[in-house]
Structures are given as structure tokens and as C-alpha cells.
Structure 1
Amino acid sequence: MEEKTKIRLTAGEMSGLWTQYINDTLATCVNRYFLENVTDEEVRPVIEFTLDTSKQNLKLIGEVFQKERFPIPIGFTEGDVNIKAPKLFSDTFMLVYLRHFSILAMAASSAMLGVVTRADVVDIHKRVLEKSVDLQDRTSKIMLEQGTYVRPPFISIPDKVDFVKKQQFLTGFFGKKRSLSSVEITHLFLNIQTNYIGKTLITGLAQVAEKEEVKQLLLRGKQMAQKHVEIFSKYLLDEDLPAPMGWDTAITDTTAKVFSDKLIMFHVSGMIAAGVGNYGAAMAASPRRDVGARYASLVPEITLYAEDCANLMIKQGWMEEPPQADDRDRLIKGKPLPD
């Protein structure tokens, strides 16, 4: 019987491995820098665990690529990070960042496990998911012990099971609005928190970016994140619910080069992509029309910003192309593929 690992990689398997490989090269650069600058001895082992996980992921995926004669992506290298640069973020924010990173990794690996079938590729994504859950546990435990974990708001437990009886459950633009549901509260809370994390990260990266056009684009992203925080926070505050805090004080005053502008722009673009996904999920889970419509109104703003980031990366030659389908018309006509 033919070995299952000799089955060709599907488009989904290629995309999952390619994306994971690029992301792990970025994670390796970021965590090498974090490890050089961390002072909290409780946080240090978490960074070491994350760095070791990324290196192991690169090794396993690299072996699959070599076996398939698949061009190994460049991603990010030692030239994209200066691990000897002064400290940019506080130890607390490093922990918050790694917890957020684990959430993104859990979502990505879970999604890929739904589309991959080749045994060796399935094993890789299972490993990524397992390590992501472990990282989530490690970061949450320390944050709870140190008092830096911000919980979602508490609401009263329902008195009984009930069913929606009126269309008023869906209204939100006119007349009396119903209270936010627990699902809507959760998505608002998470989107406030992720925007705060994004704002802090972008602010720090803008301090150490080199090109002026990169700095200006990051400042625009910072302003957008703050605007979205204020919009979502108002929904919670209007119902006397607390909104999560930010980490603006977690940035030092260094302006020394830490990361390459290429790494910075890729990192920001990845966060934007995750943000669009978060808003889409929140929109689908928010039956109150004003809440769902607000998410819908913000998505075009984010996608336009994402396009501007992509255009800058293309202009600078920083965007690595993912695997693509063959251009059959071009092949039939005998024309060479463009460089």
C-alpha cells in the first residue's frame, strides 16, 4: 500500500504549512528579542517555551517542504531583528502579547485541522494546537497570579430558560433597545482588548520604524485602533459594564532599531487580518441590529487600511508570494510566467 505521506499536498495543506512557517519565522525573531530583554523570572520560561515551539515547528515543516521539493519560504531571519536593542515593551506586555498570540494560533490551527488530511500535516497542526493551548494556560496562570489578567464583565445568572417572543429582540436603531446579550458583551470585550493590544504594539513599532511612510501608516493604525476602542467601550459603558483597560504605559522611550520595517509591516498586516475575522464573527453573533451594523461599518475601514499596508509592502519588495494555482491560459498559449 502506498504511504499516505506520499500523497500530494492539497492547496489547503500548502497554504497552512506556508503560513505557519512564515509566522514561526516572525515569532522566532520577536521571542529572541523578548528573551534578551525580559527581567521577570516568571515570564522568562514562557518566552523560552514559545521560542522553542517556533523553532520545532520550523524544523518539522521544513522537513515536509524538503521532502516535497517545495521552495522553503524566506520569512524573517536574524537580519530582521536586533536582539541587542534596548527594551521596547514591559514584561507585562510581553506576557499579554504571547497570550494574544496563543489565541490566534489556536484559531488558525483549529481551522486548518478542518481542511487537512495528510497524516504528517495533520500531526503538525495538532502539535501547533496543543502547544498553543499550553501557551494559553501558561500565560493566563501567571497573569492571574500577578493580577494583570482582565476578565470579561460579570452579569447576573438568568432566573429561568426563556425564548424570544418579540421582534424587539433584533431592534437597536429606534425605540427601546434590549440589553446586550452575554455573547454580544463577550465579543465587544474581546474586540476592545485586541484593539488595545494592537494599539500598544503599533505605537511601540512606530517608535522604532525607520521609513517615514511606515511610521505614518502605523500612526494611522494607532488612531483607528483607539477609535474602535472608544466605539465598542461605549456599548458596555452605556449598560454600566466595565470596559477592559489598555497597556499604553507598557512602552519604553527607546527609538533604537529593533525590527526591520519589513517585519513590522507584516506583523501589522497579520493583526489586521485577524481583526477582520474577529469583526465578522462578532457581526454574525450580534442579533441586535445596531451592534451588527456597527461592526459592518468598521470592516471597510480596516480592509482599506490593510490594502494600503499591502501596497506599501509590494512597493518595497517585502511581500512574499504564497503558493498559487497554475495559470492554465498562459501555459496553453506557451507564454512564460511573469517574474
Structure 2
Amino acid sequence: MEDKSKIRLTSAEMTCLWTQYINDTLGICVNQYFLEKTDDDEVRPLIEYTLQVAKENLDIMETIFKKEHFPVPIGFTDEDVNPRAPKLFSDSFVLYYLRYLSILAMAASSAALGLATRPDVIEFHKRVLDKGVKLQDKTRDLMLKQGIYIKPPYISTPDKVDFVKKQSFLAGFWGNQRSLSSAEITHLFLNIQSNIIGKTLITGLAQIAEHDDVKQLLLRGKRMAHKHVEIFSEYLLREDLPAPMGWDPALTDSTTKVFSDKLILFNVTAMIAAGIGNYGMAMAASPRRDIAARYASLIPEVGLFAEDAANLMIKHGWMEEPPQADDRNSLIKGKPTSN
């Protein structure tokens, strides 16, 4: 039987570890700044927890990389953050941001576990999942305590089990529309909330970005997030269901540089990638044709924004290359022929 402790890293394991490493270096930069600026003694321990977890993750991954002679990614460093800059985000927004990060961590580690083979890599992603669940619990408990936790809408409990009897259950463009299903409500709520968080984050980052092309892209992202919030909220409001509200007061008027534009663009593109995944899941979980089609129409817009952000990163030399397969054609062409 093959010794799984000595097998090479698969492409999936390389990808998940590489991505996790970059994300954790970003998390360290962001949370170092949050820790320096928080005024809430209840939020501080959660920032410290997140910061410590990210540092421990890096140590574990560096050990794996060095064992495999895999080049340790650069990611983000102290040069990408200015902890001495004035406060930009409120402590309440930091709490929402940490909670959203815990959701992303749980999703990413769950996917990584489904692809991992080596025991050390499996244990690492189990650790990431466990820490993500704990951060989710910590942020939820504190938000409930502080009265800022926003729950998904309530609906009536069904009277009985029933089955769909008409094709009109799938209709949505013409004729009578059925009420939203609980799954559709859930995904609409999630996508409203994630867009509100994204809009607030992008607005703050636009205030402190240095390059004009980065500022313009962020302003475009802000308008896009606002539009999507309005679209999704309309579905809920039509059925007299509450839609999450924004947190405009979560930002100060500071324009002092906090993060490098490199970090800003990577942070935004990472959230955009998660957003595309959320839209895909929502589309699959929405039997009503009008709702599924709406998600399908928005995904290309979000994808184009992500592509333009990636092009900016390439233009400025900020995009670190992920692991790639060997280019066999180039290897063949570059090999000298024998006489």
C-alpha cells in the first residue's frame, strides 16, 4: 500500500495551500490594522484570535512547502499595511467583516477537504475549518450581545407536507408568480448582505487608494454592489419581507493610505470570486425562472469586473502567479535536437 505521508502534493493540494497562504498573509495585514484601531474591548479579542490563527496557519504551510521544495509565496507583507493610519472602519463593521471571513474560510476549507489526499494536508484544512467555525460562533455571539446581528427573514411554519402539482411552480416571467421559497429567500438575503459588506469595504478602500485607475474601478464596484442590493431587495420587499440595511456610518472620512493598492485589489477580487460562487449556488437553488435568470444575467457583469481588476493587477505587476502545469509545447520546442 502507498505511504500517503511521502506522496507528492497534487495540483488540488498545491492550489488550496497556495491560495490559503496568500489569504492568510492578507488577513495578517488587515487584522494588524484593525487591532491597532479598535476601540471596542469586546471586538479586540476576536481580532487577536483571527490574527493568531493566520500566523499559525502560515507556520504550518511553510513547513509543508519547505518539505516539498515548493517556493513559499510572497503574498502580503508589512509593506502593504500602515497600522499608524487613522481609523477607517467602525468596530461594528470590523465585526461584520470578520464574520464574513469566517464564512469564506468554512467554504474554502470544506472544498479543500474534498480534494485533499495527504494526511498532513487533510489535518491542516480540518484545522482551518474548525477555526472558521469557532470564529463564526464568536462573532455571532458578540453581534447578538451588541444587538447588531441581522437575522434572515421569518416565514410561517408549513401546516403539512405537500408536493408541487403544477408547472407554474417554475414560472416567473408571465402569469401568476408563486411566493418565494425558503431557499430563494435565504439566498436573496445572503447576497444582499454580502453586497452590502462589499459595498462598504470598497467605498472605504476607494477613499484611501493611491492610483486613479484603482479608484475608478472601486467606484464602479461600489455602483455595481448598490445595484445588486436594490435588485435582490426588491424581491423580498414585494412579499413584505424585510431586506438587510446598509451601514454607511461604518466609515470615517479618512483618506490616509492604510493598505497598498496591490492588497486592495486582491481583497476585492477575492470577495468578487466568492460572490460569483454565491450567485451560482443561488441560481441552482431558485426554481422560479425569473430569479434564476436574474442571477445568470448578473454573473457576467461581476465576472467582467473581476477580469478588469485582474488586468489592473497585471498592469502594475502585482499579480503573483499560482502553480501551473508544465507547458509541454514550449519544453519540446526549447529542447535541442540530436544529430
Shorter-chain TM-score tier: over 0.9
Alignment of 1:263-282 (within 5 A): 263-282=263-282
CA–CA distance in structure 2, aligned partners of residues 55 and 105 of structure 1: 15
- Alignment partner, residue 222 of structure 2: 222
Q: Deviations over 1:201-250 (max 9, x none)?
A: 00000000000110000000000000000000000000000000111110
Secondary structure of 1:71 counterpart: coil
The offset of 1:140, in angstroms, is 0.2
Q: CA deviation at 1:330?
A: 1.3
Q: Distance in 2 between matches of 1:206 and 1:62?
A: 33
Following superposition, the deviation at residue 331 of structure 1 comes to 1.1
- Where 1:207 maps in the other structure, the secondary structure is helix
1:151-204 alpha-carbon deviations (Å, 9 max, x no partner): 000000000000000000000000000000000000000000000000000000
- Counterpart check, 1:249 vs 2:259: no
In the alignment, the residues of structure 2 paired with residue 289 and residue 4 of structure 1 have an alpha-carbon distance, to the nearest angstrom, of: 47
1:60 counterpart residue number: 60
Matches within 5 A, 1:309-328: 309-328=309-328
* Distance in 2, Cα, partners of 1:222 & 1:2: 51
- 2:258 & 2:6 partners in 1: Cα distance? 42
Secondary structure of 2:5's partner? helix
Query: Normalising by the residue count of structure 1, what TM-score does the alignment of the two structures yield?
Result: 0.98
Residue in 1 aligned with 2:123? 123
Shift of 1:3: 4.6
Q: Measure, in 2, the Cα distance between the counterparts of 1:335 and 1:173.
A: 59
Q: Distance in 1 between matches of 2:61 and 2:317?
A: 25
- State the partner residue of 2:137: 137
Cross-structure match for 2:333: 333
Normalising to structure 2: TM-score of the pair? 0.98
Counterpart CA distance in 1 for 2:3 and 2:254 is 54
Counterpart mapping for 1:145-294 below 5 A: 145-294=145-294
Q: Runs in 1 of length 4+ with deviation above 4 angstroms?
A: none
Separation of aligned partners in 1, 2:316 and 2:309: 11
Find the counterpart in structure 2 of residue 86 from structure 1: 86
CA offset at residue 117 of structure 1?
A: 1.1
Task: Give me the whole-angstrom Cα distance separating, in 1, the residues matched to 2:63 and 2:32.
Answer: 23
In 1, distance between residues paired with 2:166 and 2:199? Answer: 40
Partner of 1:296, secondary structure, is helix
What is the root-mean-square deviation in Å for CA atoms of aligned residues?
Answer: 1.0
Structure 2: distance between partners of 1:329 and 1:216: 39
1:288 partner amino acid = R
Q: How far did residue 329 of structure 1 move?
A: 1.4
Separation in 1 of the partners of 2:335 and 2:204? 47
Q: What corresponds to 1:305 in structure 2?
A: 305
The CA deviation string for residues 79-123 of structure 1, in whole angstroms up to 9 with x for no partner, is 000011111000000000000000000000000100001000001
Instruction: Measure, in 2, the Cα distance between the counterparts of 1:308 and 1:330.
Output: 28
Aligned-residue offset at 1:68: 0.5
3-state SS of paired residue (1:5): coil
2:174 maps to amino acid: F
CA displacement 1:117-142 (0-9 Å, x = unmatched):
10000011000000000000000000
Gaps of 5+ in 2: none
CA distance in 1, matches of 2:223, 2:62: 39
Look up the equivalent residue of 1:53 and give its one-letter code: V
C-alpha separation in 2, matches of 1:234 and 1:335: 61
AA aligned opposite 2:234: K
How far did residue 335 of structure 1 move? 5.7
SS of the aligned residue for 1:333 comes to helix
Structure 2: how far apart are the matches of 1:116 and 1:287?
A: 33
> Structure 2 CA distance, aligned partners of 1:4 and 1:293?
45
**By how many angstroms is 1:71 displaced?**
0.4
**Quick one: structure 1 residues 2 and 156, their matched pair in 2 at CA, closer, same or farther if it must change by over 3 Å?**
closer
> 1:5: how far off?
2.3
Aligned-residue identity in percent: 72
Partner of 1:19: 19
How far apart, in 2, do the equivalents of 1:6 and 1:70 lie?
15
SS at match of 1:233: helix
For 1:331 and 1:132, how far apart are their aligned partners in 2? 42
Alignment of 1:295 with 2:298, yes or no, is: no
Rounded Cα–Cα distance in structure 1 between residues aligned with 2:34 and 2:335: 48
